[in-house]
Structure 1
Amino acid sequence: MKRVMKLLAVALMLLVFVGCSSDEALTTIRVAEVTRSIFYAPQYVALELGYFEDEGLEVELQTIAGGDKVMIALLSNNSDIGLVGSETSIYVAAQGAEDPIINFAQLTQTDGTFLVARAENDHFSFSDLAGETFLGQRKGGMPQMVGEYVLKEHGIDPETDLELIQNIDFANIASSFLAGTGDYVQLFEPTASQFVKDGNGHIVASFGEESGNVPYTVFMAKESFLAEHEDAVLKFTRAIYRAQQFVESNEPEAIAEIVQPFFVETDGELLTSAVARYKAQGSYANNPLLEQASWEQLKTIMSKAGELPADIDYEELVNRQFAEQVLDE
C-alpha cells in the first residue's frame, strides 16, 4: 500500500511539473480592443477555440474604450497589440512619433455600423435624411467619418442638410436615441438588431455596404515591438488567420454559439443575426493581409471628412510580412 501511495505521489508531482512547464512556455501578449463587439467575432473564436494556445501564446484581452486610449496604452507599453481602426495609426504618425504604430493584421474590412430610423420606412432613400436629426458617432473616429462619407456620396451635406449630433460618448449613443434624441442613429450590431427586436427602430441602410472596403479594425503594435517579437507576432497572426478561415466557412449559428461567453448579456438569436449581417456584407476579412487599395480608400474617407492630418504612404504604416508568411504556409 505504501508503495502504491508513493507511486501516486510521484505521478501527481509529475503532473504538476508538466502543467507548470506548459504554462511557463506560453508567451503572454496583452491585446487592447477598442470595444467589445460581435464585429470582432474572429478574435473571440481564436480565444475560445484555443488557437492562440496552440501557437504557444497566452492572450490577455483588455477592453479600452476609445481609439485614443488604445493608442496611449500602446505608446506607454501598457499593451502590446491594439485592435482599433487604422486611422489612429495615421494620427500618431502625423504627430511625428519616433516609434510609430504599425498595422500588421486586418480583422474587419468594412464599416460595421447600420443606419437605424426611428420611424418605419420601407422605401428609404438617403435623401430622406434632409432636414432630419442624425445622431452620429464621435468626430474623428472611423464610424463618423464613414457616415459623413456615405452621406456626401448620396448628395447630403452633413453640415447643412441635416442636424448632425456627434458630441455624445460612444457608450451613450444608443440610450440617447432611446431617450428621444434624433430621428436617425448610427449603430453597431447587435445593438441595431436589438432595437429592431424591441420595436425601437428600423434598420434602413448599411454603412459597410455603402462605403466599400477599408481597414476598419486592424491589429497593430509599435514598430519596435514587431521587430523585437517577430516570432510571437507571426504566431499571433497565424492564430487570427485560422479563426478568420473558421468564420468564413461556418454558419452564423455556430459562430454565435462559440463567442457567446464574450456576450453573456446578449441573446443568442441576436448574436446569430448580427454575425449573419456581417458575413453577408463581407465585413469579416477572410485573411489578415491589409491591401493598399483599402488603405487608399481609408485616406479618401478621412480626407473628405476633413480629418486626414497627413498623406502617409501605405508602406510607412503597414507591415505585410506576417500576413504574407501565414498565407504562404
Structure 2
Amino acid sequence: MSPSKKHTAGRVPPHRMGGMSRLGSVLGVAALAFALASCGTPAAAPPGQGGGSDSNGGDAAATKVTIGVGGQTLLTYLPTTLADQLGYFTDEGLDVDLQDLQGGSKALTAMLGGSTDVTSGYYEHTIQMQIKHQPIEAFVDIGLSSGLALVVSPKNEDSIKTVGDLKGKNVGVTAPGSSTDMFLKYLLVKKRDKTSDASVSAIGAGSSAVAAVENNQVDAAVMLEPDISVLAKRLGKDPAIIEDVRSTDGLQSVFGTDAWPSACLYAQTDWLKKNPETAKKLAHAVAKALAYANTHTGAEIAAKMPEKFSAGDKALYAAAIDNVKVTYSKDGVFPEDGLKAVLDTQRVANPEVGDKKIDLSTTYTNEFVKG
C-alpha cells in the first residue's frame, strides 16, 4: 500500500528512517531502577468496542482521550509522554489521560475491553490481532527499531559467541509471547532453523532483567535500553552482545531493512472511523514530539520528562535518551518496507501468523499524520 492510500466508504476519511548510529553503552553513573514492561500480546484478547471516554462514539465528545501505554518509563514509548509533557495534546484541543499499564499486552487488552481509546504499543500487535479478527490500525509511527539486543551473561562470554551456541541454554525474555520472545524465536529459526534449541525464562525488564543477567540466572537475554546501559555500569564493562538491532547495520544484518516499525499509536478501526479529527490531532501532537526529540539533546529531553522517570540519576537517564532517540521516527510516517519486515518476522517467529493471509493495508494508515 502506498503512503497515499485512500480509505474507502466505511473506513477512515483521507488525511524514513534517518540515519541510526550504533548505540554505545552508557557508563560512569549509578544504576537506574526503571520499572519497565514487556511489549507482548495477549494469548486471547477479549472482545470490545471503541474506548469508553467517547460515550457518543464521535468527535463531538472525544476531546477526552485515554491512552494506555505499554510501559511508560520504557524509552521506546518516551515520545508519547513527551507530547503530553510539552503540552502538544493540549495545544491540539485534547484532554489526554495517559495510563501506564506496564506491559504491551495489558495496554492492548485494556483498549479492546473499552477501558482506553488508544494504545501506545508495538505495531506488530495490529498484525497479530488481524488473525484474531480484531481490527486495529496504527496511525502514527514512533520507533523505527525495536531497540533489542541479545546479551550474554558474564559466565558465558567465552562459550556463547553465536546464536548457534544457544542450543540447550536458558535465555531470558521479558515475557513469553512478547516482542523480546519473538525476536529470539526469529533468530533461532533464521540461524538454526529451530525455535526449540533454547529454553525461555521470563525475567521482565528493568532491575529484574539486569539482575538476572548480572547474576547469571540465565545464560543470555534479549534486553532493551536503558537496561543494557545499566547492566554495563554494574559489570564495569560492555556486556557481550551476539545480535543487536539498535543500529542501521544491525537492522540490515538481522531483518534486511533500515526500518522495523515498533512503538506507535494504534486504535480499533471502528474508533478511528468515528473519531478521525481526534486521531489527526493525536498524530500531529506525537509528530511534534518526535520533531522535538530529534532536535534536542538527551539532557534537554530529560528535563521535560517526569522527575521519577530518571530514578534519581538524571545524567544516566539523559545519556540513555541520547542513545535511543536515534531510533525514533523523524516524522511519524510508516515506511512500507519496514512494515513488510515486521510481517516477515511474525511469519517466521509466530505460528499463529505463519503463512496466513495478512492485508497490511488495513493495519496502518499515514493519512492522519500527513493530514
Match in the other structure for 1:219: 265
Match in the other structure for 1:300: 344
1:245 matches 2:291: yes
Match in the other structure for 1:29: 65
Q: Distance in 2 between matches of 1:128 and 1:90?
A: 29
Q: Distance in 1 between matches of 2:69 and 2:224?
A: 15
The worse-fitting range, judged by mean Cα deviation, of 224-233 and 202-211 is 202-211
Q: Distance in 2 between matches of 1:243 and 1:150?
A: 33
Q: Residue 202 of structure 1 aligns to a residue in which SS?
A: coil
Q: Distance in 2 between matches of 1:103 and 1:276?
A: 26
Match in the other structure for 1:149: 186
- For residue 89 of structure 1, report the CA deviation from its aligned partner: 2.0
Q: Distance in 1 between matches of 2:139 and 2:177?
A: 22
Q: TM-score normalized by structure 2?
A: 0.71
Q: Does the CA-based 8 Å contact 1:44-1:262 persist in structure 2? A: no
Q: Does the CA-based 8 Å contact 2:138-2:365 persist in structure 1? A: yes
Match in the other structure for 2:52: none
Q: Residue 263 of structure 1 aligns to a residue in which SS?
A: helix
Letter in 1 for 2:150: L
- For residue 31 of structure 1, report the CA deviation from its aligned partner: 0.5
Could you list the per-position Cα deviations for residues 250-295 of structure 1 after superposition, in whole angstroms to 9, with x for gaps in the alignment?
Answer: 222222222252504152222122222223xx42111212222122
Q: Distance in 2 between matches of 1:195 and 1:38?
A: 16
Could you list the per-position Cα deviations for residues 92-131 of structure 1 after superposition, in whole angstroms to 9, with x for gaps in the alignment?
Answer: 221223xx21111111110122333332969x95358445
In structure 2, relative to structure 1, the CA distance for the partners of 1:61 and 1:134 (3 Å cut) is same
Count of aligned residue pairs for this structure pair: 295
1:41 matches 2:85: no
- For residue 68 of structure 1, report the CA deviation from its aligned partner: 2.9
Match in the other structure for 2:91: 54
Could you list the per-position Cα deviations for residues 70-100 of structure 1 after superposition, in whole angstroms to 9, with x for gaps in the alignment?
Answer: 2221122210110111222222221223xx2
- For residue 152 of structure 1, report the CA deviation from its aligned partner: 4.6
Q: Distance in 2 between matches of 1:151 and 1:251?
A: 37
The worse-fitting range, judged by mean Cα deviation, of 294-303 and 181-190 is 181-190
Letter in 2 for 1:95: K
Q: Residue 284 of structure 2 aligns to a residue in which SS?
A: helix
In structure 2, relative to structure 1, the CA distance for the partners of 1:271 and 1:168 (3 Å cut) is closer
Match in the other structure for 1:180: 216
If each structure's helix is expressed as a fraction of its own residues, which one has the higher value?
A: 1
Q: Distance in 2 between matches of 1:62 and 1:237?
A: 18
Q: Distance in 1 between matches of 2:240 and 2:285?
A: 34
Q: Distance in 2 between matches of 1:75 and 1:155?
A: 36
Q: Residue 110 of structure 1 aligns to a residue in which SS?
A: coil
Letter in 2 for 1:322: F
Match in the other structure for 1:193: 229
Letter in 1 for 2:102: A
Q: Distance in 2 between matches of 1:45 and 1:254?
A: 11
Q: Does the CA-based 8 Å contact 2:186-2:348 persist in structure 1? A: yes
Residue in structure 2 matching 1:261, options 307, 323, 329: 307
Q: Residue 289 of structure 1 aligns to a residue in which SS?
A: coil
- Map 1:281-300; keep pairs closer than 5 Å: 282-300=326-344
Letter in 2 for 1:183: D
Could you list the per-position Cα deviations for residues 124-153 of structure 1 after superposition, in whole angstroms to 9, with x for gaps in the alignment?
Answer: 953584455422343332222123334554
Query: For the aligned residues, what is the CA RMSD?
Result: 2.8
Q: Which runs of 5+ in 1 are unaligned?
A: 1-24
Q: Distance in 2 between matches of 1:266 and 1:107?
A: 26
Identical-pair percentage = 20
Letter in 1 for 2:103: G
- Map 1:77-156; keep pairs closer than 5 Å: 77-97=114-134, 100-119=135-154, 125-126=161-162, 129-131=165-167, 132-154=169-191
Q: Does the CA-based 8 Å contact 1:118-1:183 persist in structure 2? A: yes
Match in the other structure for 1:6: none
Could you list the per-position Cα deviations for residues 8-61 of structure 1 after superposition, in whole angstroms to 9, with x for gaps in the alignment?
Answer: xxxxxxxxxxxxxxxxx9922100011121222222221111111111112111
Q: Distance in 2 between matches of 1:41 and 1:71?
A: 18
Q: Which runs of 5+ in 2 are unaligned?
A: 1-60
Letter in 1 for 2:153: R
Q: Residue 142 of structure 2 aligns to a residue in which SS?
A: strand
In structure 2, relative to structure 1, the CA distance for the partners of 1:69 and 1:260 (3 Å cut) is closer
Letter in 2 for 1:159: S
Match in the other structure for 2:35: none
Q: Distance in 2 between matches of 1:108 and 1:266?
A: 26
Q: Residue 267 of structure 2 aligns to a residue in which SS?
A: strand
- For residue 297 of structure 1, report the CA deviation from its aligned partner: 0.6
The worse-fitting range, judged by mean Cα deviation, of 227-236 and 168-177 is 168-177
Match in the other structure for 1:206: 244
In structure 2, relative to structure 1, the CA distance for the partners of 1:167 and 1:189 (3 Å cut) is closer
In structure 2, relative to structure 1, the CA distance for the partners of 1:66 and 1:252 (3 Å cut) is closer
Match in the other structure for 1:8: none
- For residue 222 of structure 1, report the CA deviation from its aligned partner: 1.2
Q: Distance in 1 between matches of 2:335 and 2:240?
A: 30
Q: Residue 108 of structure 1 aligns to a residue in which SS?
A: coil
